[in-house]
Every structure is written in structure tokens, then in C-alpha cells.
Amino acid sequence: MTEMYVLRVNGDEHAVADAWLGESLLYVLRERLGFPAAKAGCEQGECGSCSVFVDTTLVCACLVLAAAAADTEITTLEGLQPSARGAVTDVQRAFVETGAVQCGFCTPGLVMAVHALLETDPEPTDLAVREAISGNLCRCTGYGRILEAVEVAVAARRGAAR
Amino acid sequence: MAVIVPESLESALAALTAYPDAAVLAGGTDLMVEVNDGRRPLTRVVAVGRVPELTGIRVDGATVVIGAATTFAQLERDPVAELVPALAYAARTVGSPQIRNAATIGGNVATASPAGDALPVLVALGASVEIAGGNRRRLVPIADYFTGPKRSVLDAGELVVAVQVPVLRGAQDYLKVGVRNAMVIAVASLAIAVDLEARRVGIGLGSVGPTPLAAPEACSWVASRARWRSDGVEVADEDVVEFGERVAGAARPIDDHRGTARYRRHAVSVMARRALRRCTR
């Protein structure tokens, strides 16, 4: 057991009490704090479906020890700011418009990875896109429409910046 | 406290002295896999990622000192990319962006897996590992560091503080064979470093023995056969082929679920030839 600790998730503080020492950030987000967007896939850092930001760095929440993440700023998909056009982000909208979502299990992680990419590289090459999503497994789409979604998101941001 | 997050090296070492059974947590990419899988019961954790003495990269003469908490994402970029290009190439082959953002070079060294991607580079360059424990500090040459698969001279209560890597003039490379380009544990890997000043070639091999391996005989042989210039080195075609065979002779591979010993030895000879061709002309 750990002593009570506080996690700061999407700008709000959440107390975590009576937790087992080895609980991952993914487990605490989903099972204790009610943030279900990050998905529990492999729990060994292979699938990327639990991707979150810890202090603006994209990581697998399953490999973060929750109790050691006190004093960090955690951002989940639920905490991303929607675009001016509605309730979802521009990247989420691009995924929907291109049909890049099938079963949807990998989608939150991929959306986080694409946001991370576009933060640092607003005009990524095809290779940069493929490398950026190389840690996110999708077993439905074959990735074609996901790559298309990234192009659509890039174009939308280019248009918005103009 | 079950989770200790020390703010200094001194307090980290004090915690490890007080609780020798504590697990050391850096990037979590090795430890948490075992914890999630129920293979690693935890009683106490010392999280060292924020210890200032373990962070940062500094150049000290002809050596770059890389703090143990440096992530692979940081190794991909300058100054490491410029000073130790093979280490940056190796870093880029590790896991995914998410893994490289978390995993550290100190963790790679402490875990001491024969497949650790940074390790063949450290072997090829003749790096040293800075270790601290209690009141003791020691510097261990990488050739003396590994003692077996996931075993090293690192004792309970000790921490890897940094790696000291020579900055060499000459071409370097890192090659890795796996089932795909991303998210792969090496089936076989090879680092090469040419030292134009000392007229030496260094090789480090991964995943083809109980520990990362050097190939000293092959390296001194090829250095004696090469035509050294101030700005590069030439090796005859037939010597490149023989170098591949000699490096493969230094491998001590086994059959396992990732590949056979025969395949690994063959892969080493191909990688050694390819790496030497890329680094010579």
C-alpha cells in the first residue's frame, strides 16, 4: 500500500488513497479516477493505446508508476482542448472524416501520438508520420486511413493558420 | 514511505542503503513491464529520474559524460548526435517514441540485457560506467562491467550515475536486425566506431552472447590491414569479407525464440561487412 498521494490530471487534482504500490498510471486513471480514454492493451509498452502526456512528454501510461507521478502534469485525451469547430480536437475530427476509426480501441492513443507529433513538427514528412505512430498498433485499419487522417489534420491546421 | 523520490544523489544513495530491497525506478520501461505482469513484487521504490546529478550531458575534454537519467529521445539529438553518432543511431532504433521518451541510458546499463541497444555502442567506443553507492564512487570500464545475461558488477545499493564515452574522430554506425524496423528487440545488433587518431576500429555486438561482446581480434586484424589516412581509412574488398567472418567468430549466440544461433552468426558477418564498408572508402 502507498500513502495517499495526489495526481494532477487535466488541470485538476485527484487524491489517490489505499492504492497498491505497483499500480500503473494507466490503472489509476481508468479504475480509480474515471478517465477511460487511455486503453489497457498490452501493459508492456508495445501497443501505445494508453498514450498520455506527462509534463508534455508522450509516454505509455502503463509504464509510469502512478505514485511516482505526483508533482507532474498529466494530460489524457479527455484533457485535450477541442478545436474552435466543436466538441473534439482537429485531429479527432480528421480521424472521423477519413474513416480512420474502426473498432476504436487504438484511436485515443493514436490521437495523442498525432497531437504530440504536430506540436513539434507541424508539416511532417511521410516518414516522420510513420515514425511518430510506430508505437501505436492498429489491428483494423491497415494504417492507410490513419496516415490520411494526419494529412487532413495538417492541412486543416495550415488552413487555420492562414 | 513506499515510494521515495529523492531530490539529490546523496539522498538517493541514503535511501538505497537504508532499504537494500528497494527497486530502482528510472524510465520504468523494464521495471513496470515486470510489475504489470506480476513478476516483480514491490515493497519499496526509489524513483531516481529527478535526481539532478543523474541528468544532463557535459563534455569533459575528449569525453562526453552522459547522465544516467538521459532518455533515448535525448540521445537521438545533439549534442550526442554530433559527438557520438552511433549512440544516436542506436537510440533511434529503441522501441517507439513513447518508449524513447521514458527509457534511460542508465536503465539500459543497469538492466544489462544482452539486447540493450546502447550497450554495443558503449563496447565499441570503450566507454566507462560511473557507479556510486554509499560513500563509494567507482569508474568501471565497460569491458569489465557485464558478468552475464542481465548481470553486472552493479551491487545492491549502487546506482549508475553516468556513462563516460570517448569522443572520437572517425565514422560510426549501428546496425540492428529484427522482425520489423520499429518496436523491436534486437535479434542481433552491431556497433562500429573508427578512431582515426589511434588508428583503431571498435566493434560491439548485441544479442549474440550472454553479454554485449567486443571483437578485439577482428578489430586489431582489420586495423593492421587498413590503409589509414588523416581523413579516413580504406580496407580492401577481400579484407572486408574476412573481417565479417572474424567478427562473426567473436559472437557466442544461442538458439532462442527470436532466432537461431546460426542465423545470428550469419547476421553478424553481414552487419560487420556492411558497417565496415559504410565507415571506410
pLDDT tens-digit readout, B127-177: 999 999 988 999 999 999 999 999 999 999 999 999 999 999 999 999 999
Q: How many helices (H) and strands (E) does chain A have?
A: 5, 5
Percent of chain B predicted with pLDDT > 90: 95
pLDDT of B77 strictly over 80: yes
Q: How far apart are CA B85 and CA B78, in angstroms?
A: 9
pLDDT confidence tier of residue A85, bands split at 50, 70 and 90? confident
Q: How far apart are CA B267 and CA B278, in angstroms?
A: 16
Per-residue pLDDT reduced to its tens digit, A106-145: 999 999 999 999 999 999 999 999 999 999 999 999 999 9
User: Average pLDDT for residues A30-35, to the nearest whole number?
Assistant: 98
**Chain B residues touching A70 at Cβ < 8 A:** 5
* Structural domain boundaries enclosing B155: 3-166
* Structural domain boundaries enclosing A129: 90-161
Same domain membership, residue B253 and residue B143: no
Q: Which of A57, A60, A111, A129 to mutate to test the interface with B (most CBs of B within 10 A)?
A: A60
In a domain, A17, yes or no: yes
Same domain membership, residue B152 and residue B109: yes
User: Which conformational region is residue A83 in: left (phi greater than 0), alpha (psi within -120 to 50 degrees), or beta?
Assistant: beta
The region of weakest confidence among A110-114, A150-154, B178-182 is B178-182
Same domain membership, residue A94 and residue A72: no
The whole-angstrom distance between residue A31's C-alpha and the CA centroid of its chain comes to 17
pLDDT value of residue A2: 77
The answer to whether the CB atoms of B2 and A45 lie below 8 A apart is no
CA distance A5 to chain B (A): 10
DSSP letter at B54 equals G
HSE-up of A3 (CA within 13 Å, CB side)? Answer: 8
pLDDT confidence tier of residue B181, bands split at 50, 70 and 90? confident
Cell 524510465, located at residue: B27
pLDDT of A152 strictly over 90: yes
Number of domains in chain B: 2
Q: How far apart are CA B81 and CA A152, in angstroms?
A: 32
Same domain membership, residue B145 and residue B48: yes
Same domain membership, residue B259 and residue B207: yes
In a domain, A82, yes or no: no
Same domain membership, residue A96 and residue A72: no
Q: How far apart are CA B64 and CA B75, in angstroms?
A: 12
- Measured between alpha carbons, how far is residue A82 from residues A30, A85, A87, A90, B188 in Å? 21, 8, 5, 7, 45
Please enumerate residues of A whose Cβ is less than 8 A from a Cβ of B: 1-3, 5, 21-22, 24, 43-46, 48, 51, 57-60, 62-65, 67-68, 70-71, 113, 116, 131-132, 134-136
User: Average pLDDT for residues A95-103, to the nearest whole number?
Assistant: 96
Same domain membership, residue B80 and residue B211: no
pTM confidence score: 0.96
The CATH number of the domain where B203 resides is what? 3.30.390.50
- Residue at a domain's end among B114, B131, B166: B166
Same domain membership, residue B222 and residue B131: no
Contact yes or no for B162/B67 (Cβ under 8 A): yes
Per-residue pLDDT reduced to its tens digit, B10-56: 999 999 999 989 999 999 999 999 999 999 999 999 999 999 999 99
Q: ipTM of this predicted complex?
A: 0.95
- Residue at a domain's end among B166, B197, B222: B166
- Residue at a domain's end among B135, B166, B197: B166
pLDDT confidence tier of residue A162, bands split at 50, 70 and 90? confident
pLDDT confidence tier of residue A81, bands split at 50, 70 and 90? confident
Contact yes or no for A143/A134 (Cβ under 8 A): no
The CATH number of the domain where A22 resides is what? 3.10.20.30
- Asked if the peptide bond before residue B79 counts as cis, ω within 30 degrees of 0, the response is yes
In a domain, A83, yes or no: no
Same domain membership, residue B243 and residue B216: yes
HSE-up of B187 (CA within 13 Å, CB side)? Answer: 20
- Residue at a domain's end among A16, A49, A76: A76
pLDDT confidence tier of residue A83, bands split at 50, 70 and 90? confident
Per-residue pLDDT reduced to its tens digit, A37-75: 999 999 999 999 999 999 999 999 999 999 999 999 999
Same domain membership, residue A153 and residue A97: yes
Same domain membership, residue B99 and residue B13: yes
Same domain membership, residue A69 and residue A46: yes
Beta bridge partners of residue B64, listed in sequence order: B59, B165
Same domain membership, residue B176 and residue B158: no
- Residue at a domain's end among A76, A100, A130: A76
pLDDT of A1 strictly over 80: no
**Chain A residues touching B41 at Cβ < 8 A:** 22
The CATH number of the domain where B34 resides is what? 3.30.465.10
**Chain A residues touching B45 at Cβ < 8 A:** 21, 65, 67-68
Q: How far apart are CA B153 and CA B136, in angstroms?
A: 14
User: Average pLDDT for residues B175-188, to the nearest whole number?
Assistant: 91
pLDDT of B1 strictly over 90: no
In a domain, A133, yes or no: yes
Residue among B66, B50, B38 at smallest CA distance from B125: B66
E strand or H helix at B16: helix B9-18
Same domain membership, residue B218 and residue B258: yes
The answer to whether the CB atoms of A21 and B181 lie below 8 A apart is no
- Measured between alpha carbons, how far is residue B173 from residues A39, B5, B12, B67, B153 in Å? 37, 37, 35, 22, 28
- The cell for B99 is 518508449
Q: How many helices (H) and strands (E) does chain B have?
A: 11, 16
HSE-up of B215 (CA within 13 Å, CB side)? Answer: 33
The answer to whether the CB atoms of A131 and B32 lie below 8 A apart is no
Same domain membership, residue B23 and residue B159: yes
Question: What are the backbone dihedrals phi and psi of residue B161, each rounded to the nearest 5 degrees, phi first?
Answer: -95, -40
Number of domains in chain A: 2
Other residues' Cβ atoms within 10 Å of the Cβ of residue B6: 17
In a domain, A97, yes or no: yes
In a domain, A20, yes or no: yes
In a domain, A14, yes or no: yes
In a domain, A128, yes or no: yes
Q: How far apart are CA A75 and CA A18, in angstroms?
A: 23
Same domain membership, residue B72 and residue B52: yes
Q: How far apart are CA B19 and CA A132, in angstroms?
A: 40
